């Protein structure tokens, strides 16, 4: 009887942990009303695929990878736009570095597990370490890097991935010009409760020029934009 009770208690504890994680994931999204210049688009178009904690990558999602000028891989459909953006920045005197392009599920899992382990070594419980990690490293199966539509961009003058990058020459140039090439600042400051990810001024996602222009002009997240389409 005692063994059964222990197993029961362990099962209950596990369920509580899972429920806490699920409740913590749920975003707070108030769907805004589209304005007059809202693009008429199909929400199921490949460039608008919403990937986050609540919308993991579909099991049947497939794409072809292609290489940009430096040999790094992304979805082949965005290679031209990304190369064009990198070239334009260079012409303006800003040498952008792609430090994280397409990332396999295995690599995403390794990065996530490593950060959880580091947090636990510093005294965090597993649940606290998981929560902390999920704010900075997307849960495997829910990362835009895994679908090749997102890149992390820095410069030699500011190589560190931190909030201060937003005020560096690379961060400023990207926020001003990314939409011209179909990219958006994916995790903007002040929208953490919607995206579920901390402010990342280095993470840019391809959505197409028309969509990018609207999102950046109206200070939206992809979650809000897709919600307006549906």
Catalytically active residues are: 200
Instruction: List Cβ<8 Å contacts ≥24 apart for 22-29.
Output: 24/131, 25/53, 25/54, 25/134, 25/196, 26/54, 27/52, 27/53, 27/54, 27/193, 27/194, 27/195, 27/196, 27/223, 28/193, 28/194, 29/194, 29/223, 29/224, 29/227
CB contact at 8 A, 101 and 73: yes
Q: How far is CA 178 from the centre of its chain?
A: 16
Tokens of 21: 């994680």
Tokens of 206: 């391809």
Tokens of 100: 């994280």
Tokens of 208: 């197409």
Tokens 């419980």 locate to 125
Residue 204: strand pairing partners: 151, 185
């Amino acid at each position: 009887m005692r063994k059964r009770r222990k197993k029961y208690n362990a099962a209950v504890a596990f369920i509580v942990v899972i429920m806490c994680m699920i409740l913590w994931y749920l975003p707070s999204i108030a769907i805004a009303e589209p304005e007059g210049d809202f693009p008429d688009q199909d929400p199921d178009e490949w460039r608008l695929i919403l990937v986050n904690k609540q919308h993991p990558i579909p099991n049947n999602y497939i794409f072809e990878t292609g290489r940009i000028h430096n040999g790094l891989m992304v979805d082949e459909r965005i290679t031209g736009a990304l190369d064009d953006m990198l070239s334009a920045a260079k012409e303006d005197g800003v040498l952008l570095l792609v430090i994280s392009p397409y990332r396999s599920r295995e690599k995403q899992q390794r990065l996530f597990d490593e950060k959880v382990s580091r947090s636990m070594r510093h005294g965090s419980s597993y649940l606290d370490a998981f929560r902390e990690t999920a704010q900075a490293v997307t849960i495997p199966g829910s990362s835009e890097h895994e679908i090749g539509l997102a890149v992390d961009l820095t410069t030699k003058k500011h190589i560190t991935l931190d909030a201060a990058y937003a005020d560096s020459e690379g961060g400023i140039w990207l926020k001003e010009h990314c939409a011209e090439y179909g990219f958006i600042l994916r995790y903007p400051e002040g929208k953490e409760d919607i995206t579920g990810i901390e402010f990342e001024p280095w993470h840019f996602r391809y959505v197409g020029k028309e969509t990018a222009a609207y999102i950046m002009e109206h200070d939206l997240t992809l979650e809000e934009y897709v919600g307006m389409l549906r």
